[in-house]
Amino acid sequence: MSLPNHVAIIMDGNGRWALQRGKSRNYGHQCGLKAIEKIVDYSIKKKISYLTLFTFSSENWKRPKKEVNFLFKLLENYFRKNILKVIRNGIKVKIIGNKFSLPSHLRKTIKIAENKTRKNNKISVQLALNYGSKQEIINSMKIVNKKKQKITLKNIEKNLFTSGFPDTDILIRTGGQKRLSNFLLWQIAYAEIFFIKKMWPDFNNNDFQKILNKFKKIKRNFGKV
Ligand code: IPE
Ligand code: IPE
Ligand code: MG
């Protein structure tokens, strides 16, 4: 069987990982960012064309303000400091989710990152930021309705934030929980799902390769026999 075209990851466990080491949850997020860099590089090496990373859910606003602000600042600083590296590595960045309620300076930074990496073609990386799958589906239906189009698979898909990305082949969730937390509910209809016990900062290329190996051996039926 072939390699996956689109891998999506629920990067869970940063907080627990850090607390287990007597560190702050925010320290865990910093280490989680390093794990992201490694996995993106490895995905390029593996010729995976599309990657979607759950970065901040629409429900994560319920966390302490200090943690929410830290997460936003972390992302903003990353793109400010590393944009040249991101361009050089051929990474096309796309943000999915409700951008409007994000801090304006973060919005500006991600817009610049999206624009500057627009022509990159080694890998497309969607960062799900203030993302909720149910909200995404409602939003799409509202657009279809407004355009007076028919409710069809194609029309709904065209107006999802993920439009332009193929269906998800592999969904990975680290951190030991077996739930979807409102992530890509539509897009994972036929994804192969891997729940991994390791916390996200510990997830490495070897863990990823093991999943890719397992995926290769899976017979995907899509309803056929
Ligand atoms: C990272 O893991 C996911 C984000 C929301 C950034 P968590 O912060 O949820 O870590 P745990 O699950 O509390 O350990
Ligand atoms: C999902 O993790 C969101 C991200 C990885 C960004 P959560 O830690 O927020 O999920 P729940 O609340 O445990 O379901
Ligand atoms: Mg969590």
CA distance 179 to 173: 8
Residue 111's CB: how many other CB atoms inside 10 A?
Answer: 12
As a whole-number percent, the residues of the chain with pLDDT over 90 amount to 99
Is 16 inside a domain boundary? Answer: yes
Within-domain flag for 145: no
Q: Is residue 17 part of a domain?
A: yes
| Helical (H) or strand (E) element with 12 | none
Q: Which of 11, 12, 62 to mutate to test the pocket of ligand 2 (most atoms within 8 A of CB)?
A: 12
What percentage of the chain carries pLDDT values higher than 70?
A: 100
CB within 8 Å of 85: residues ≥ 6 apart: none
| Residue 67: inside a domain | yes
For 60-77, write each residue's pLDDT tens digit. 999 999 999 999 999 999
For residue 51, the cross-strand partners are: 7, 125
**Is 87 among the domain residues?**
yes
Going by the DSSP 8-state scheme, the letter that residue 13 receives in this structure is -
pLDDT given for residue 2 in this prediction: 81
**Residue 113 covered by a domain:** yes
Counting from 1 in the atom list of ligand 2, the atom nearest the Cα of 59 is: 9
pLDDT, mean over the chain: 97
**In-domain check, residue 85:** yes
149 within some domain: no
The residue range of the domain holding 71 is 6-131+167-214
The CB of 175 under 6 Å from ligand 1? The reply is yes
CA atoms of 105 and 173, how far apart (whole Å): 30
Both structure tokens of 151: 């409710």
Report, in angstroms and rounded to the nearest whole number, the Rg of the chain calculated over CA atoms.
17
Does the annotation mark 41 as catalytic? no
Q: Is 90 left (phi over 0), alpha (psi -120 to 50) or beta?
A: left
Task: Write out the two tokens for 178.
Answer: 């077996």
Taking the C-alpha atoms of residue 86 and residue 117, their distance in angstroms, rounded to an integer, is 8
Q: What is the mean pLDDT of residues 109-121?
A: 98
Band of residue 1 on the pLDDT scale cut at 50, 70, 90: low
Q: What is the pLDDT of residue 175?
A: 98
Residues with CB under 6 Å of ligand 2 are 10-12, 54-57, 60, 177, 179, 181
To test ligand 1's pocket by mutation, which of 16, 27, 78 has the most ligand atoms within 8 angstroms of CB?
16
The total number of structural domains in the chain stands at: 1
Quick: pLDDT tens for 14-38: 999 999 999 999 999 999 999 999 9
Residues 5-16: what's their mean pLDDT?
98
CATH of the domain at 62: 3.40.1180.10
Q: Is the pLDDT of residue 190 over 60?
A: yes
